[in-house]
Amino acid sequence: KNEVEQSPQNLTAQEGEFITINCSYSVGISALHWLQQHPGGGIVSLFMLSSGKKKHGRLIATINIQEKHSSLHITASHPRDSAVYICAMNTGNQFYFGTGTSLTVIP
Amino acid sequence: NAGVTQTPKFRVLKTGQSMTLLCAQDMNHEYMYWYRQDPGMGLRLIHYSVGEGTTAKGEVPDGYNVSRLKKQNFLLGLESAAPSQTSVYFCASVSYTEAFFGQGTRLTVV
């Protein structure tokens, strides 16, 4: 059983659409990370959250600690946003990863 | 992925051979991790370390050993490689405020 559940697994969007990826986790955490991985590429940390909301450019990440839920939003999506987005929870000692959401943005 | 260097990037091994992967960080992070990534399986934790001289098993530790003799280096060893260890390996270096990943090692065991 994965401690971190992500949805959807796959997502196709038209350029310009607003995108939401959801992450639910089952145990107490010290922080939650949103990561991005391009095909054949390395992994980059987009956000690290322990509460509230963070924004970086067109990306917004929110977390609700009580509901054990986080969302990653992409506004005005672009083909270069096509990647796998991974939610990871940090329990203090260990990281647990979701299986990722594969996003394809079509021009 | 500034601050984390993972070597080598590619390797082909024959069954039974051994090798060591190196993860080096210069950010003074305490926490370091080794993961493997397989299609449809996501990232799975092999071993991790919460500080110099300490290591612990993760989700899939069998067939691997690790060492953290120096804070900046976390080594992953395969003593006798098996085809099931064909995968992409990532290391991560984490503090309370940031996380950095290595570029990955694509390992093929034939």
Q: Tens of pLDDT along A46-60? A: 999 999 999 999 999
Q: Quote the tokens at residue A11.
A: 């997502």
Residue A1: pLDDT band with limits 50, 70, 90: low
* pLDDT tens sequence across B31-50: 999 999 998 777 888 999 99
pLDDT of residue A92: 74
> Over 80: is that where the pLDDT of A12 sits?
yes
Residue B99, pLDDT score: 84
Report the residue of chain B nearest A42, measured CA to CA: B103
Q: Where are the beta strands (DSSP E) in chain A?
A: 4-7, 10-14, 19-25, 31-37, 43-49, 52-56, 59-64, 69-74, 83-90, 95-97, 101-106
What is residue B94's predicted lDDT score, i.e. its pLDDT?
86
The Cα–Cα gap between A71 and B64 comes to 35
Q: Which residue has the higher pLDDT, A8 or B42?
A: A8
The reported pLDDT for the residue numbered B87 is: 96
In A, minimum Cα distance to B39 occurs at A99
CB neighbour class for A5 (10 Å; exposed up to 12, middle 13-18, buried from 19): middle
CB contact under 8 A, A94 and B45: yes
- Is the pLDDT at B77 greater than 70? The verdict is yes
Between B99 and B12, name the one with better pLDDT.
Answer: B12
Residue B2 burial (CB count, 10 A): 8
Taking an 8 Å cut-off on Cβ atoms, the answer to whether B42 and A31 are in contact is no
From chain B residues 31-60, the ones with a CB under 8 A of any chain A CB are 31, 33, 35, 40-45, 48, 50, 56, 58
Q: Name every chain A residue with its beta carbon within 8 A of the beta carbon of B32.
A: none
Average pLDDT of the residues in B87-93: 94
Q: What is the pLDDT of residue A2?
A: 62
Average pLDDT value for residue range A10-22: 97
The three-class DSSP label of residue B84 is helix
Confidence band, pLDDT 50/70/90 cuts, at residue A98: confident
**What tokens appear for A38 in the block?**
């391009």
- Output the CA–CA distances (angstroms, integers) from residue B95 to A33, A46, A93, B101, in the order listed: 12, 15, 11, 12
Tell me whether residues B101 and A35 touch, CB distance under 8 A: yes
- In this prediction, residues A33-47 reach a mean pLDDT of 89
Minimal CA separation from B20 to chain A, in Å: 20
- Give how far B84 is from chain A: nearest CA, Å: 20
Q: Is the pLDDT reported for residue B15 higher than 60?
A: yes
State chain B's mean pLDDT as an integer: 93
